[in-house]
Amino acid sequence: MLAGDFNCPDINWPHQTVTKGAPDREIQQALIDYAIEHGLSQIHDQPTRKITS
């Protein structure tokens, strides 16, 4: 189990992709690659708080 707030809002976990134009795309892709390499899956798929502008 790997837990934490990784703050990667541009990851589409069902498709294991990062949104084009994401400002930190390389970091988010690295998290996807790590999850795949180690057989991890995303189980919490809802925001933990409201995002306000």
Tens digit of each residue's pLDDT (9 = 90 or more) over 7-24: 888 999 999 999 999 999
Is pLDDT at 50 greater than 80 in this prediction? no
Q: Which two three-digit tokens encode residue 10?
A: 């541009």
Domain total for the chain? 1
Is pLDDT at 52 greater than 80 in this prediction? no
Alpha helices (runs of H) in 1-53, residue ranges in sequence order: 25-37
Is pLDDT at 53 greater than 70 in this prediction? no
Phi, psi angle pair for 41, to nearest 5° = -135, 150
Give, in degrees to the nearest 5, the angle at Cα 35 between 34 and 38: 85
What is the pTM assigned to this prediction?
0.78
Q: What is the extent of the structural domain holding 25? A: 1-53
